[in-house]
Amino acid sequence: MRQREKRKPFSYYIRVLHRDIGFFLIGLTAIYCISGVILIYRDTNFLKDEKVVEKQLKPDLKGSELSDALSLRKFKVTRNDGETIFFNEGTYNTTTGVARYSLQEPPVWLKSFNKLHMTSSKGPAAAFATIFGVLLLFMAISSFWMFKPNTKHFRRGIYLAVAGLVFAIVLLLL
């Protein structure tokens, strides 16, 4: 006669899911982490290439009109020498309407990584980003089932979780 199979506890299934989802998320998390750290330094020229742009605009634009036409961040006119307006990224010829300026842009591969952080609810990656976020939340919560309650490791996990929560709140308040 076949032995009666023992029913596995809920924590067993949570542990299995935690392990399998964890392995699945390794690659996704690595990409998000790398691009996130690089985005921290987006205001510098770290990993950026210089690109020279030449744009034909209407002649005789004034400083504010030029700013609107070029849509450059931190646009500032530095000087005006008659027919040439100098600004922090380049020049504009008021007679011909030609603007020449340089931009610092990340390489194509990095731009696609950065798009992961700028997903909108209408974008094609919205479902992906939502699922990724839900899976990461599951990983955080399911970690409490890795050890039995009332053990040294479980208590340590609770203390670390509270410390992480307090640390995040402090960062948000700064």
pTM exceeds 0.75 for this model: no
Q: Is the pLDDT at 54 greater than 60, yes or no?
A: yes
CA distance 49 to 107: 7
Please say whether the beta carbons of 18 and 10 come within 8 A.
no
CA distance 164 to 174: 16
pLDDT tens, 55-91? 999 999 888 889 889 988 888 999 988 889 999 989 9
Average pLDDT across the chain, whole number:
88
Note the pLDDT of residue 59.
Answer: 92
Q: Considering only CA atoms, which of 81, 86, 120 is closest in space to residue 100?
A: 86
Q: What is the DSSP letter of 81?
A: E
User: In the chain, where are the structural domains located?
Assistant: 10-44+108-173, 49-105
CA distance 47 to 53: 19
pLDDT tens, 1-33? 556 778 999 989 999 999 999 999 998 888 888
Q: What is the DSSP letter of 76?
A: -
Confidence of residue 118 (pLDDT cuts 50, 70, 90): confident
Please say whether the beta carbons of 130 and 101 come within 8 A.
no
Q: Which of 4-13, 81-90, 109-118, 155-164 has the lowest mean pLDDT?
A: 109-118
Note the pLDDT of residue 3.
Answer: 63
Top mean-pLDDT range of 33-42, 145-154, 159-168: 159-168
